[in-house]
Structure 1
């Protein structure tokens, strides 16, 4: 089942001027920017560093200035002052093409598909809606699609193997990359076929390890919590007995890329 049948896939934010629109939390506090219009941002872990599936808003080190386009800047004087101080820089970038230039096209989501992959396959699930950086895609499940069950399937072995096998190798440094058009066609297990018991099992399996950092695939293979998630997901279609062979194929392919991957810093 192509992912587009289960979820709307949206590109993440392209601000044109990250240094203007993305702020570290301490900088936002220092300038006393109006918190109501600051939104936490989900980004890919730097250089493929270990990261958990689950992310809470307070765990994101960055916030974005997320103003609605029709707001009067007089209502947000401190953000307005920040924007005035950085207007010349922003208007020298692609941000100048927005109307108004300071209003980001924000589409908060809870589920995110990474754009590029090293030796880890992590699709993040937020506790509440957050904004997607341009290195991840925001997923909005379609009617009748259980959000957490979809997150479980996307973090399971069949999806990891599909991402590894069908991704583009043109990014360099041993990574594979997925364009938004590729992501629309990503083959995934259809969670709409799951009965209530299977949905509950997927929820429980994902919760079992969603908050621990995801390791290199060669280490994940032997994790009992990972095996439970894979078993729950692969119960949605025939072929569950092939899990060992699928793991071997995934590890062999990632091993070919390992020598080119940047070291974790």
Structure 2
């Protein structure tokens, strides 16, 4: 994406990278949420959205031009030799805008002034009315005749990947029904819908979290109301190798209005393999009316009427047998409860200034800070060997600020020396340590830890506090079983690079056998297996016995649960592999279009390039 839009990873250029790297540029990219679109993704989006050579194509955040270039390739393949007259866009970053303008101009063989792009913040652009064709061309100095419609035929976007905490309050307010936790991409989506004519197409590559996150409910409802959803596309490998984000592509057709009675086509949830010919795979999948697999892809075909905003849509990417295993846990007939019914869940300690409030023992001694203000703390799951905090070799210390009447203490003096008075986040009274801990950012192990050492935990953990203390050992065993692991894999949010993040509400909804209604014999078995696992966490035989017992308590098949969990975990970890890595003897990296300097790149836009780029092979999807 770029400042609003972009691309990260290989892009077609002119014998050089279109976006040079460097500390300054990387810092700006982080600030603006820039993640630039790889060519294979851009071409996929353009081919799925554009089937008219005269289509007007708009990119609200062009970045360095990847999506406009892909639109040009597609329009040229459809026979439009002057495709540059059909594409236009905005970009807030002047440096990216200049690069994008130059690249599009060189590809079209025209002067940069002929390219209809300008600097601006898309979210500040007043829209035409949603679905109303009388919207007028906005004053973008694009050279269109006065009174020309502002509504485009196709919109392609890769919006900024900016955390919701960094959004201005006025931006959040403009989002209307959107959750305050929604990222900037959600605001772009709802705003961009107003610029697409009825019957037009919108293609977007965004973080995939909206598919499952609670904040995505309003966005899912909006899309169901205003669009026919043709494709939701996931990728075996991260498409942004240099960014920690898991992305998906969504292809939408705007309804003629809220009363559009036409039955929408089925939604195709398409999983694309690394190294596959994505255009060919999408073309083949577009012609299928039922679930299936083919070269480089796996497809689930779901009637749009079956999609509801209240339920996450990422489940439709699951293999049918895996989906059955996940559903089986939620529909188990045996007594089960959500974790929040058996335990309180709270976030670990946030300080607001870790450099000041987290210390090691030597620092605290050097500063002479009184022990009454200090508590032992574990800051990262990596500090815990095995499944018990008693293995933490050197716990850190957290400083709780002295009260206003304790200004003469050495602790207060230390804070003044650091330019700090207090913490807006730390409680005035240290909390009691929680019996169980969970590190909610998961890469390799999905582990719940016994806190035998009685340590406080940083905000890298969720603290689990059983409502009945006598159930701590049982819960420890249940939470380290395959039932919990499968729930976390299925309901957590992929963050890219193989990282899985669990939100509190996702953990709270974890379904487990009810300890309060459990048979005493089974309870004792669980406690014994949990203790064995605590002492020998690497023993596969103990884990297998635990999994079989918990599955039996829920009336489920442990073999199916373990297979499903392994499949999901393996698919997630593949994403963390570096480019060029090999999995089971096969190449998993995707390759971008080769760089084409000068005339060679212009040649790719000539209508004769139809044999390369295709000229309607994907129209069967419409």
- TM-score, with structure 2 as normaliser: 0.36
Matched, 1:230 2:551: no
Relative distance call for 1:21 and 1:50 in structure 2 (3 A) is closer
Aligned partners of 1:2 and 1:179: how far apart in 2? Answer: 15
User: How do residues 1-265 of structure 1 correspond to structure 2 at under 5 angstroms?
Assistant: 1-46=337-382, 51-56=385-390, 59-66=393-400, 72-74=406-408, 77-88=409-420, 95=423, 97=424, 103=428, 106-143=431-468, 146-169=471-494, 171-212=495-536, 223-239=540-556, 242-261=557-576
CA drift of 1:20 comes to 0.9
**What is the distance in 2 between the residues matched to 1:146 and 1:11?**
21
Assess if the C-alpha contact under 8 Å between 1:190 and 1:236 holds in 2. Answer: no
Are 1:53 and 1:125, in contact at CA under 8 Å, matched by a contact in 2? yes
- CA deviation after TM superposition for structure 1 residue 187, in Å: 2.1
Unmatched runs of 5 consecutive residues or more in structure 2? 1-336, 579-622
Question: What is the CA RMSD across the aligned residues, in angstroms?
Answer: 2.9
Classify 1:120/1:81 alpha carbon distance in 2 versus 1 (closer, same or farther; 3 Å).
Answer: same
Aligned mates of 1:139, 1:207 — CA distance in 2: 18
Q: How big is each residue's C-alpha offset from its partner over 1:89-147, in whole Å with a ceiling of 9 and x where there is no partner?
A: x77xxx3x45xx78476453121222121121111111153322112111121137601
TM-score by length of 1: 0.78
CA–CA distance in structure 1, aligned partners of residues 465 and 498 of structure 2:
29
CA 1:66–1:261 in 2, change beyond 3 Å: closer, same or farther?
Answer: farther
Structure 1: distance between partners of 2:448 and 2:511: 15
The runs of at least 4 aligned residues of structure 1 exceeding 6 Å deviation read: none
- The verdict on how the C-alpha distance between 1:72 and 1:145 changes in structure 2, with shifts beyond 3 A counting, is same
The answer to which structure, 1 or 2, has the higher relative contact order (CA under 8 A, 6+ apart) is 1
Q: Summarize the Cα distance change of 1:7–1:71 in structure 2 as closer, same or farther, 3 Å threshold.
A: farther
User: In the alignment, is the contact (CA less than 8 A) between 2:384 and 2:391 conserved in 1?
Assistant: no
Q: Is the alpha carbon distance of 1:71 and 1:153 closer, same or farther for their aligned partners in structure 2, counting shifts above 3 Å? A: farther
Deviation at 1:236, TM superposition (A): 2.7
Gaps of 5+ in 1: none
Whether the 8 Å contact between 1:110 and 1:130 is mirrored in structure 2 is no
Inter-partner Cα distance in structure 1 for 2:391 and 2:535: 14
In structure 2, C-alpha distance between the alignment counterparts of 1:6 and 1:225, rounded to whole Å: 24
Identify if the C-alpha distance between structure 1 residues 102 and 4 changes in structure 2 by more than 3 Å, giving closer, same or farther: closer
Higher gyration radius (CA): 2
CA contact (8 A) 2:488 2:507 kept: no
Figure out how many residues of one structure are paired with residues of the other and give that number: 242
Q: CA deviation at 1:167?
A: 0.7
